Amino acid sequence: MVETSLKLVYSLALFGALSAAVLLGLLRGLDYYVYERLRFDNVVVVAISSTASIVFLGVVWIAMAVIDLVRSRGLRVHTYEVAVLLMLSVLLDATLKLIFRVPRPGLSGLVQPVSALMSVEYYSYPSGHATRAVALALYAGKRSSTAWSLAIYTWAFAVCLSRILLGVHWTSDVLGGFAAGLITLYASELLKDPLKKVLEALRLGFVLK
């Protein structure tokens, strides 16, 4: 618990440093340099990017939950932990985008979205896809064999790169997403047990197998 808390503090410090650099414009040169030279928009890149969308991952999680319920009438611990991680990543992503309000590449900062939902799509820092990919990869990677871990980490890297190649995120957005992914991972590890106790206390029929 103490080790996880320290990792969370370090992750927050990393995100804070990156965010300060973004707000001060220190990464603007890098962002524009990469944006102008590294573009590759095709169906393969789009497909890779889509695997870290909340819709795709939500469908995958529902499938996991259904399989658990059919087999054992309860959720596996891993299925529950992934749910906590995904929910936290969505909340963190939306909150940070509304705080920093960095427009996506190609969008004018003068045109403001009219709703919170539109804001999440309009603003780009940090990258939600990168946040989820990094958090999930680190969670699954340390619970997998060496070969599977390598494949999972490669997937996360490909997702992060795809967001830049598609021109929907600045490089700094993806770097921020990496740090936000670390925050998501360690925060979810600290929250999963207290949240489980709350769910059990509410008598929601929450069962872990």
> Catalytic site residues?
129, 169
Residue spans of alpha helices (H) in 38-170: 43-50, 54-72, 77-100, 116-122, 128-141, 146-165
| Tokens encoding 206 | 């929450």
Residue 192 DSSP label:
H
Query: Could you give the C-alpha distances from 183 to 45, 113, 170, 179, 188, in angstroms and in order?
Result: 26, 27, 20, 6, 8
Give the whole-angstrom CA distance, residue 82 versus residue 167: 29
C-beta of residue 134 within 8 angstroms of C-beta of residue 115: no
